[in-house]
Amino acid sequence: MKHVMTPFLMTKIIATVGPSCSTPAVIEEMILAGARGFRINFSHGSFSEFDSLLESIREASRKTGIPAAVIGDLPGPKIRIGTVSGQGILLREDMQVVFTKQAGKEETIVEPKNHRVILSVNYPLFVDEVKRGQRVLIDDGNVILQCTGIGGSGDDRQVTCKVIEGGMISSHKGVNLPDTDLALPALTEKDVTCLSYAVRKKFDFIALSFVRSGKDLAALKQKMTEMGVRHGKGSHTPASAITGARTKADLPALMPVIAKIEKPQAVHHLDGILKETDLVMVARGDLGVEMDLAEVAVLQKQIITACHRHGIPVIVATQMLQSMIEASTPTRAEVSDVANAILDGADAVMLSGETAVGKWPVEAVKMMNRIAVRTNDYIRAGFFENPLMAEAMPRTNRSDALAHGVKTIVKDLKIKMIIVWSRGDGAIALSQYHIPCPILAFNADTQRLIHMSLLNGLTPLFMKQPASGSQFIREVDGMLVKNKWARTHDPVIFVMGEPVDKTDAINRVVVHFVGEAME
């Protein structure tokens, strides 16, 4: 596949790492192809394997000189069935499946004469919380059961279900309970262990799985505060978490949190979640299992619009180029899916199995980048503007209002690019207006640059702190010409604070023509 490298990526690409892309050489190719974030899924693998993947990502990022964010994805409280003998069991329609409270009983019991199977699960309260008439889904909804009865008490309590849609089940397959309110904790013991590892290894982002409400995120952030990577309640905004703005100079940089929306409860409590999170991921896998599959496309648009209303960056994930796990090219429907996520206003799109275990990890990134570039060219040419996005964007402070003004200037003057020096929320404010124009975000803090690498339109670039705004403009002006990013007389916009090291907000917008003399 022929690939043309683009210097400024608008929509960012996140790739899940795994056996197919575990070496620095492959990850380097993926970065050059357009990947700007790498997800390590703590549900699969050991800490020694994570060590190796982490070093490969960082080595490839150092070699290319391109900031690449590392995301640690916590497993979350996933319910799974116990051990199933042999190659698995075929559950047929109308068969009985009994779940017992004896969670320690790992081996599945099959009673052919009674057309009954007895299963255990890794969550002892399962039999107390599932109610008659509620659905029990196994293996991503491939097998559907319905609770028909509850019997016994204490350790002998059990839940009886009828098979509605049958299929093969094997050991430790996941269980979804879309109709049941669970008392599962937001953080399991394994989550805390993985979080501690991520903090120790200085991951850039942490993702929380199976979020149900803002309380789940508050619990995670409290634990992170105890570990020294959050500032505590009320001391930051989502923007400052991503850009690394500090309330006190001696505090460590924040580790932004990504809320994965994949449960019905999360959709119902979305506003509360958006008040607690720094980024959102529309995790369509479990979302499509626990809710009507036909609703997922509309929910994606609704979630993205809500994120824009709160100024929260949003990632769309799961099965975007699923056929490329085996095939070297995607289906036409998958191409349309990626393009539509971008048209909806996604900041980033994510690859999962396509890069982690697929045969074509580099080609998958190249293809996703090709789709993103063509779609963003279409947007920039003025053929498409998302009216929901324009209405949803907040204008609640100076940075938001200035960003809105910059968007108008870009359209009126056909601006080539936006250049920002921001130590606070200026960069994310510009990004969240989805201005169809590259934004060069300069900073002297490498951690902040990495945090900005997932934001729409932003290209993070290192520069030592300039002495003044005029010096900043002169230095960048020369860089634009030297690197052939712009030509003499091209119009660009500089956005910064005055003085240039102002920490709280941007307050200066300069329309500049490349090569123009500075006083």
Is 39 an active-site residue? yes
Among the listed residues 16, 277, 318, 355, the single catalytic one is 318
Among the listed residues 36, 78, 246, 260, the single catalytic one is 260
Is 318 an active-site residue? yes
Is 407 an active-site residue? no
Task: Tell me the residue type at 211.
Answer: V
Among the listed residues 11, 16, 36, 39, the single catalytic one is 39
E-state strands within 153-308 = 158-165, 167-169, 174-176, 205-208, 257-261, 279-283
The answer to whether the beta carbons of residues 493 and 418 sit under 8 Å apart is yes
What is d(CA 350, CA 35) in angstroms, rounded to the nearest whole number? 9
Strand order in the sheet with 109-111: 79-80, 174-176, 135-138, 143-151, 158-165, 96-100, 116-119, 109-111
CA atoms within 13 A on the CB side of 195: 29
366-to-9, 13, 149, 318, 369 alpha-carbon distances in Å? 12, 10, 52, 17, 5
The answer to whether the beta carbons of residues 425 and 245 sit under 8 Å apart is yes
Please give the DSSP secondary-structure letter assigned to residue 107: B
The answer to whether the beta carbons of residues 291 and 267 sit under 8 Å apart is yes
User: For the chain, what is the total number of helices (H) and then of strands (E)?
Assistant: 18, 23
Is 80 an active-site residue? yes
Q: How far is CA 171 from the centre of its chain?
A: 29
Calculated CA dihedral for residues 473, 243, 282, 258, nearest 10 degrees: 160
Among the listed residues 6, 58, 63, 80, the single catalytic one is 80
Residues catalogued as catalytic: 39, 80, 260, 318
